[in-house]
Amino acid sequence: MPDVALVDPELTLTLPRHITTACGLDAVSQLIESYTSTKANVSIDALALKALSHASESLLPLALGQSNDISLREKMSWTALVSGIELSRSGLGAVHGIAGPLGGLCPVPHGIACGKLLFPVMSFVIKKIIEEKNTAAQKRFADIGKVFTGNAGGDDVFYCRQFLEVLDKWTRMLKLPQLSRFGMTALHMGKIIELSDSKNSPAILSPEEMKIILEVVR
Ligand SMILES: [Fe+2]
């Protein structure tokens, strides 16, 4: 754990696109997982939603051509800082529960692993919290869906689906590479699944579901 973290947007102006994208998606994953954690700390909810709003305004433009816009860099840097504060208070979920062992067993950059896992993992989590009628978790994901798309009426299940649509759109536009490019093979999958867990996710992923997710990102 660092004693001090210096977060200076100016230092990020020259970051290459692939690092901006991967680290941005890591911060977004951390915010989503901690906001929807079973240990979510309500005292910092407003901060987390503000950070997700900043991410939704800045991540795509930064990654797709406006990389030297300091106001966008400020928003994304603040988002990343808040994501670190959030995860230390509320814990993380299934994206990081898989990304940890995956990164330990294969030389996949952490942000790429999280960015690739985000949409398929959240698809399973949303499906399960709807099937299990977990309305408390649905409300948390719906809060994020409203931040991403604006509140135009609709129930929590509607905004859970909006949330997923936005993640799908972002990950398709950002075009992260498949993880086989970094050396992940089918042979790694059994061990990754054995070591992975869902951390504080409101839905627990089975080994079979993790296998499907890993096939998608490999
Ligand atoms: Fe992370």
Task: Give residue 80 CA to ligand 1 midpoint distance, Å.
Answer: 10
Tokens of 3: 């004693």
Q: How far apart are CA 185 and CA 182, in angstroms?
A: 9
Q: Please state the rounded mean pLDDT for residues 99-124.
A: 97
How much is the pLDDT for 170? 95
Task: Give the model's confidence band at 1: pLDDT under 50 very low, under 70 low, under 90 confident, else very high.
Answer: confident
Interval 148-188: pLDDT, tens: 999 888 999 999 999 999 999 999 999 999 999 999 999 99
191: helix, coil or strand?
A: helix
Dist. CA 76–CA 90, nearest whole Å: 20
Determine the distance separating the centroid of ligand 1 and the alpha carbon of 26, expressed in angstroms: 5
pTM of the model: 0.97
The alpha carbon of 19 and the centre of ligand 1 are apart by a number of angstroms equal to 13
Of 130, 106, 108, 126, which is closest to residue 118 (Cα–Cα)? 126
Please tell me the predicted confidence (pLDDT) of residue 5.
85
Q: What spacing in Å lies between the alpha carbon of 71 and ligand 1's midpoint?
A: 23
**Percentage of the chain modeled with pLDDT above 90:** 95
Q: What is the structure's pLDDT at 90? A: 96
For residue 151, the model assigns a pLDDT of 81
End-to-end CA distance of the chain: 30
Contact 194, 97 (CB under 8 A): no
- Sequence-distant (≥ 6) Cβ neighbours of residue 7 within 8 angstroms: 77, 78, 80, 81
Output the CA 96–ligand 1 centroid distance in Å: 6
pLDDT for 2 equals: 80
131 pLDDT more than 80: yes
Q: Tell me, what's the pLDDT at 74?
A: 98
What is the reported pLDDT for 152?
84
Selecting from 3.90.180.10, 1.10.730.10, 1.20.1090.10, 3.30.750.24, what CATH number does the domain 9-217 have?
1.20.1090.10
Q: What is the mean pLDDT of residues 94-113?
A: 97
Distance 110 CA to ligand 1 centre (A): 7
Name the percent of the chain lying above pLDDT 70.
100
Q: CA 85 to CA 170: how far, in whole Å?
A: 24
- 32 alpha carbon – ligand 1 mean position (Å): 11
CA distance 98 to 26: 13
What is the SS3 assignment for 120-170?
Answer: HHHHHHHHHHHHCCCHHHHHHHHHHHHHHHCCCCCCHHHHHHHHHHHHHHH
Mean pLDDT of 44-65: 97
Q: Which of 117, 11, 3, 18 is nearest to 62 (CA)?
A: 18
Domain ranges for the chain, please list them.
Answer: 9-217
- Is residue 198 a contact partner of residue 97, using CB atoms and an 8 Å limit? yes
Residue with tokens 């051509």, as numbered in its chain: 65
**How far is ligand 1, taken at its centre, from the CA of residue 140, in Å?**
20
Cα–ligand 1 centroid distance for 111 (angstroms): 7
Averaged pLDDT for residues 100-116: 96
Q: How remote is the CA of residue 130 from the centroid of ligand 1, in Å?
A: 26
Closest Cα to residue 83, out of 43, 46, 122, 32?
32
